[in-house]
Amino acid sequence: MTAHGTGRRNAITKLLKGAVAGGTVTVTGWVKTSRFGKNVSFVHLYDGSSTHTVQVVLTPEQAEANKARLGVGAAVQVTGTWSASQGGEQAFEVQATDVQIVGDCDPESFPIQKKATSLENLRTIAHLRPRTNTFQSTFRVRNAVSWHIHRFFQERGFQWVHTPIITTNDAEGAGELFEVKVGDEPFFGKKTFLTCSGQLAVENFVQAFTDVYTFGPTFRAEHSHTARHAAEFWMIEPEIAFANLDDVIALAEDFIKDVCLSTIAQCPDDFEFFDKRIEPGNLARVKEALSKPFARVTWHEAVEILSNVKGRTWEFPVGPGMSLQSEHERYLAEDHFKGPVFVTNYPSVQKAFYMREDDNGETVSATDLLVPGIGEIIGGSQREERLDVLERRIKQFGLPVEEYWWYLDLRRFGTTPHGGFGLGLERLIMWLTGMKNIRDVLPYPRTPGSAEF
């Protein structure tokens, strides 16, 4: 049988798809569980390619020689015959002819046990949690989502733009930033920060390539202590030219649906795991939401809906000029629309300076996509393309106009109506999988006071 990839091994996922007994295979992986008996012994291996393990069958002699070193977590390489299994829970197994212990794992001190444990506990051993079912599935899905994000845009001719991680503008109004310094020296001649958004930078490219996107890490130095905030997270920011807010919303909906459905199709076993062990019913709710048009309301309509809610007291009062708080967003997505909803045309005072002012002068062509359980996963807008209006708004926001000279230049040289949105990768993964904490969908979560790994 031909080995997968480099030829050094047979990946478990490929073996299970083969579905024909016979031939010699080599499986590499880590011990999930093992059982030793007088006549026959079993070792189950995982290699990260599948939710399934491969059962390795050992003779009494092989078991006796390796028993002490085949505890949970040990790294092993097994060569043997791919055979029909006599057991009920798997169709095939490996009858071992050669067993090599590649890396020992002391069962007394190895913190991953052959039993369930809490996600909180696993956060304290983030270097070892990829060895568990939950994190195997989570990070396979994260990989698949990332792949389909690129595929979606590449198929549509979008250019992936690598906007800088180190930026100079600290006045985008997107929260606190991490400053980048070397000693006391202004390394770049002026103050620099880790990016909190690639949007302003990518706008220069949209006015040259028409359809572009960014996909990379983003940093926020806010002291946010919640299950859906991290100091370092990944964001996707498409930007389209010759486009208005309706075009942006249409893109966002197509994008979410394509990426989610493709990921579910690519990782059926992982989603079966999430539906069984993490959040029963979530997969059905997600599929239901993806099968019909997302709801859409203006901010004014949303306020109207909230004002008419009977028999409920709000912590933050509902009324004219209100800003939508978490409790209001959750009510809209979870109780009223029972699915994803685009809220559009917010009061301009509540939103960023670059969002395009509506003709009424009161609202901007912005949108947030709210989903049940998470809240906002997308924030987007049509951008202000009119030079005079943009200059006025920058001043109204109390920002230094001269700092935006190159951003304003775009409005001088062949400006176009354009817009885009930012999607939080982790929040999308949380909504898809039912994982409740952003710390558990990031490989190495960074939150205020915490960056151990």
Among residue numbers 160 through 179, which ones bind RNA (CB under 7 A)? Answer: 173-175
235 part of the interface to RNA, by CB under 7 A: yes
Bridge pairing between strands 295-298 and 341-344:
parallel
DSSP string, 32-62: EEEE--SS-EEEEEE-SS-SS-EEEEE-HHH
Q: Residue 420 corresponds to which tokens in the numbers above?
A: 């885009």
C-beta of residue 339 within 8 angstroms of C-beta of residue 295 = yes
Give the x-and-dash track for 317-356 against RNA (CB under 7 A).
------x-xxx-xx--------------------------
C-beta of residue 404 within 8 angstroms of C-beta of residue 172 = no
Going across the sheet that includes 192-194, the strands are 166-167, 192-194, 179-180
Query: Minimum distance from CB of 57 to RNA (Å)?
Result: 5
426 part of the interface to RNA, by CB under 7 A: yes
* Total residues at interface with RNA (CB under 7 A): 78
Say how far residue 442 (Cα) sits from the centre of its chain: 8
18 part of the interface to RNA, by CB under 7 A: no
Task: Tell me which stretch binds RNA (CB under 7 A): 337-345, 353-361, 393-401, 433-441.
Answer: 433-441
> Whole-angstrom Cα distance, residue 47 to residue 12?
7
Query: Minimum distance from CB of 11 to RNA (Å)?
Result: 20
Query: Minimum distance from CB of 54 to RNA (Å)?
Result: 11
Query: Minimum distance from CB of 196 to RNA (Å)?
Result: 8
**Single-letter code of the amino acid located at 428:** L
33 part of the interface to RNA, by CB under 7 A: yes
- Other C-beta atoms lying within 10 Å of the C-beta of residue 97: 12
Of positions 6, 17, 20, 86, contacts RNA by CB under 7 A: 86
C-beta of residue 127 within 8 angstroms of C-beta of residue 453 = yes
Task: Tell me which stretch binds RNA (CB under 7 A): 130-138, 144-152, 252-260, 418-426.
Answer: 418-426
88 part of the interface to RNA, by CB under 7 A: yes
Residue 417 or 445: which CB sits closer to RNA?
A: 445
225 part of the interface to RNA, by CB under 7 A: yes
216 part of the interface to RNA, by CB under 7 A: no
360 part of the interface to RNA, by CB under 7 A: no
Residue 77 or 325: which CB sits closer to RNA?
A: 325
Task: Tell me which stretch binds RNA (CB under 7 A): 184-192, 205-213, 254-262, 377-385.
Answer: 377-385
89 part of the interface to RNA, by CB under 7 A: yes
> Whole-angstrom Cα distance, residue 447 to residue 450?
5
Query: Minimum distance from CB of 189 to RNA (Å)?
Result: 28
Query: What distances in angstroms separate CA 14 from CA 52, 148, 172, 262, 418, one per listed residue?
Result: 11, 21, 48, 20, 45
Residue 212 or 378: which CB sits closer to RNA?
A: 378
Give first-to-last CA distance, the chain, whole Å. Answer: 39
